[in-house]
A and B are shown apart, each in its own frame.
Chain A
Amino acid sequence: MSKQARHLAAGLVGALLCLLPALGPAAASPADPLPEPWLFLPWDTEVGRVRGDESDSEGPKSFALKPDGGVLILDQANLRVIDLDDRGDLVRHVPLPAATFDDVEQLGGETLLVLDRLAARTLLVMDMQGSPLVDVALEGRGIPRAGSVTALLPRSDGVWLEVAHRYSVKVLDHDLEPCTRQIVLGRPMERGFALRGAKDGRGGVTVQRAMRNDRGAAPGITLYGDDPIRRLVWLDEDALGRVYAVLHEAVFADTSPFRVRREAYRLVVMDQTLGLLAQSESPWVLTTYDQRVEVRVGADGLLWQMAFTDDGVLLLRWDWRTP
């Protein structure tokens, strides 16, 4: 599909978004932004997928945001990372050595991190041309099983891997060299902070922001939606310390086979003290195509979602920044 066609497709989705009714009983307030479609990539011609038959289906497992406003899409089915500039135009395809990578991140727009939890069980560091720089075995202190890694978190003090959504392990130092592994409860953030999130067992999600490994009672907030929260999809903060939580709300039928009746993602923005700033909703939720990372938060405060439709991959973003 040509560049114009891709942007046209994204524009059409945007036009449809304007016609959408309010998303649920507590839809976004008028001040909250609508999602802005950024790019659409059709299946099979521009981005790969695996359609399962007695096996799992998968689309691009992850994506990452570059500091120049561009985006990286992990197109593992085609053994590559798609490198796009800030207008969505192709910069390059970065070749991958296997089809089993399931997360991608970057550092400074110059270094690529690709995670293979399930086959090679390594974190591979490459330059943007695809030349390998460092290859780190995941399993070791703090990570007994590579498959239990739940997030790849590059920070200014090194590269961290979250384990079972409980704690994170630093595997590379700020020079991208293997290091003595440090452990931090929750997800490490910049300036010595960490975010912890957990379902509360009553349909809500508790979020805490504290100094890393703080032993005191961390300040927290419990978030509820209009429907019970099934999953905490993503938790992160931007460069200003604003906290973003994405929650999967869902209601299921009471009788077998308990099919879903209603579902959406609730996007919540909080300040450093976890005071609510804004929220919105996304009708795009996880599909039958397996996906590890659906949402990213840019340092600039833009929140991005990589959603799958019947026809392809849709990248959207929400802009809560002050004009």
Chain B
Amino acid sequence: MRPRSPLPPLLAALVPLFSLGDVLLAAPPSEPPEAIVCRGTSAEGFSYEWGGECWCASGCAPDLTSCQPGVCTPNPGYSGCPNCTHTGTYGADCSGFVSKAWQVPEPYALNACDVSRYTASSFTADHAYWDVVPMTELQPADAAASQTHVVLIIDYEDPYGEHEVVEAKGCVYGIIRQSRSFSSSFSGARRKYLTSCVCSDGDQEVESCGDCGSKTRTCENDCLWSAWSACQGPDPTGADATCAPEGGEGVCAEGQMLCVAGWLTCQPGIPSTEICDGLDNDCDGVVDNGTPSNLGEGYPCTGDCGEGLSRCVGGELVCATDAGATCDATDPTDATDPADPGGGKLFGGCACQGSSDRSTPPLAPGLLLLLSLLAVRLLRRRTGPGASSRHQ
């Protein structure tokens, strides 16, 4: 394991005051934040090496072919470094990674190993090369540091307040890119010598999303890019607008193609309470099998066959009499209830209860009384003068 050689903070703090030569302690390059983010993302996939600070890049992507990442293994009985063993040439620890991405204390080449760098705690205090900034104001190319760890921020915070970062997280992880949160033991740091402005008022950039829609960002304050907007795009239309969701039953088998967050997705029909409509509303594979109260079954009624109880048949509520009371003599079609093949026969709005397993639902006494009164009232309105006179 190579020893670390961080630049003493006091010496670094003196750099602006005393010229110590162009090679040693050269100020970090003047560059836009994107250049730092680019160097940071180019380290993803390399190994964690305690005391290390080198990797190889191909543009903003890692070059894992020319430079084989090493392997870090915790020593027996330990979970991480410094009680670990690293094999291979390339790799970095957290502070070596951020030092190199920031090009401090000097703008070394990314694949230069065994060069000066800072420790994580160095980034928690103001410095000649960086300022401490509030964690609430982090932006891409900033660092977030604690006494023992430091990461590179590569995006603005997400809707919940987390940030996308690149970090040399630890021995078993290597250098990774992830969304993460921070405890209040972390403080922010912003490197100096950033190109102050990278865009002008009115500038706008548009980028395509996954497989539909796009996202935009605009120039704010005549200087810096805003965060990217959420991906948005129009939903497909015409023949492309419908789809069949996998495994969907009932109304959930009928889908609509949508553009959601930049991805085309087949949105199944939304399951709902099963009602008597001939549809499988709750998507359980059976039509009109809801509770009697949701279906509207069990209410006293009077149909062509006489008095009975409401029942859901073939997607419609009909008035069903008790078992075989009137239908046998008058049923000309002998049609079987399609929703209940073992049940009654249909005729003119009547259903004769045969051997159906369906049971009449229990009704609350109050509801039963109310419905009975309504039925009586309807009956009177149809058959006797009393009803109409009462309405006059």
Find A55's partner among B81, B211, B268, B271 (CB 8 Å cutoff). Answer: B81
Q: A55-B48, A56-B149 are in contact. List 12 more A-B contacts (CB 8 A).
A: A50-B80, A50-B170, A51-B80, A52-B80, A52-B149, A54-B81, A118-B178, A165-B179, A166-B230, A198-B160, A252-B135, A288-B185
User: B209 to chain A: closest CB distance in Å?
Assistant: 10
Cβ 8 A contact of B184, one of A56, A147, A228, A260: A260
Contact of B179 among A50, A142, A148 (CB under 8 A): A148
The interface residues of chain A lying within 8 Å CB-to-CB of B366 are none
A252 and B134 within 8 A (CB): yes
Give Cα A181 to B184, complex, Å. 37
CB-CB contacts of B88-100 with A at 8 A, as 1s and 0s? Answer: 0000011110000
* Distance in Å: Cβ of A265 to nearest Cβ of chain B: 12
Q: B residues within 8 A CB of A149?
A: 179
Is B187 among interface residues, defined by CB-CB distance under 8 A?
yes
Q: Are A166 and B261 in contact (CB under 8 A)?
A: yes
Q: Measured between alpha carbons, how far is A199 from B161 in the docked complex, in Å? A: 7
- Min Cβ gap B208→A in Å is 12
Contact across chains for A150 and B160 when beta carbons are under 8 A apart? yes
Is A122 positioned at the interface, with any CB of B under 8 Å from its CB? no
Residues of chain B lying within 8 A (CB to CB) of residue A100: 172-173
A52 / chain B contacts, CB cutoff of 8 Å: 80, 148-149, 170
Contact (A258, B134) CB under 8 Å given A148-B178, A183-B265: yes
Known: A54-B149, A198-B160. A257 touches B265 (CB 8 A): no
Report the Cα distance A72→B270, complex, angstroms: 32
B50 within 8 A of A: yes
**Pick from A53, A144, A145, A165: contact of B162, CB under 8 Å:** A165
A88, chain B: closest CB distance, angstroms:
25
CA distance A230 to B136 in the complex (A): 7
Contact B132 A256 (CB under 8 A): yes
Interfacial residues of chain A within 34-77, with CB under 8 A of chain B in the complex: 48-58, 77
Residue of B nearest to A308 (CB): B183
Question: In the complex, what distance in Å separates the CA atom of A216 from the CA atom of B162?
Answer: 27
Q: Give chain A's interface residues, CB within 8 Å of chain B.
A: 48-58, 77, 98-100, 117-119, 141-142, 144-145, 147-150, 163-167, 169, 173-174, 179-185, 191-192, 197-199, 211-213, 228-233, 248, 250, 252, 256-260, 263, 285-288, 290
Q: Given the complex of chains A and B, what is the CA–CA distance between A74 and B96 in angstroms?
A: 30
Nearest opposing residue in chain A for B92, CB measure: A54
What residues of chain B lie closer than 8 Å to A145, measured between beta carbons?
177
**How far is it, in angstroms, between the C-alpha of A199 and the C-alpha of B181 when the chains are bound?**
14
B190 to A: closest C-beta gap in Å: 11
User: Which residues of A sit under 8 angstroms from B258, Cβ to Cβ?
Assistant: 213
A148 touches B136 (CB 8 A): no
- A54 B120 Cβ-Cβ under 8 A: yes
Which residues 195-247 of B have a CB within 8 angstroms of A?
210-211, 230, 245-247
Closest residue of chain A to B147 (Cβ to Cβ) is A288
Residues in A neighbouring B270, C-beta threshold 8 A:
192, 211-212
Query: What are the residues of chain B within 8 A of A192 when measuring CB–CB?
Result: 270-272
Q: Are the C-beta atoms of A180 and B184 separated by less than 8 Å?
A: no
Please pick, from A98, A147, A213, the residue contacting B176 in the complex, using a CB distance under 8 A: A147
What are the residues of chain A within 8 A of B159 when measuring CB–CB?
A: 165-166, 197-199, 232
Q: Is the CB of A257 within 8 A of B187?
A: yes
Q: Return chain B residues, CB-CB under 8 Å to A256.
A: 126, 131-132
Q: Which residue of B lies closest to A286 (CB)?
A: B183
Give B66-85 interface residues, CB cut-off 8 Å to A.
Answer: 79-82
Write 18 A-B pairs (CB below 8 A) sorted by A numbering. A49-B79, A54-B94, A54-B95, A55-B81, A55-B93, A55-B169, A100-B173, A118-B176, A166-B159, A179-B246, A180-B246, A182-B267, A183-B263, A232-B161, A250-B184, A252-B136, A258-B132, A288-B185
Are A287 and B260 neighbours in the complex by a CB distance under 8 Å? no
Contact of B133 among A58, A147, A258, A285 (CB under 8 A): A258
Q: Are A117 and B267 in contact (CB under 8 A)?
A: no
- Find out whether the CB atom of A213 lies under 8 angstroms from the CB atom of B267: yes
Q: In the complex, which residues of chain B have a beta carbon less than 8 angstroms from the beta carbon of A142?
A: 210, 261, 263, 265
> In the assembled complex, which residues on chain A have CB atoms less than 8 Å from the CB atom of B120?
54
Residues of A contacting B187 in the complex (Cβ-Cβ under 8 angstroms)? 257-259
- Please state if A55 and B260 are interface contacts (CB–CB under 8 Å): no
Asked if A99 and B50 sit within 8 Å, CB to CB, the answer is no
**A141 and B162 contact, Cβ closer than 8 Å, known pairs A54-B149, A212-B270, A288-B183:** no
- Give B261's nearest chain A residue, CB to CB: A167
Interface positions, chain B 130-185, Cβ under 8 Å from A, are 131-136, 146, 148-149, 157-162, 164, 167-174, 176-185
Q: Are A258 and B266 in contact (CB under 8 A)?
A: no
> Is B119 close to A, CB under 8 A?
yes
Which residues from B are CB-within-8-Å of A181? 263, 265
Across the interface, B210 reaches (CB within 8 A) one of A141, A228, A290, namely: A141
CB distance from A319 to the nearest CB of B (A): 26
A167 to B265, CA, bound (A): 12
B300 adjacent to chain A (CB < 8 Å): no
Give the chain B neighbours of A287 by CB distance below 8 A. 183, 185
- A184 is contacted by which of B148, B184, B260 (Cβ under 8 Å)? B260
CA distance A117 to B173 in the complex (A): 10
B125's partner among A48, A141, A165, A257 (CB-CB below 8 A) is A257
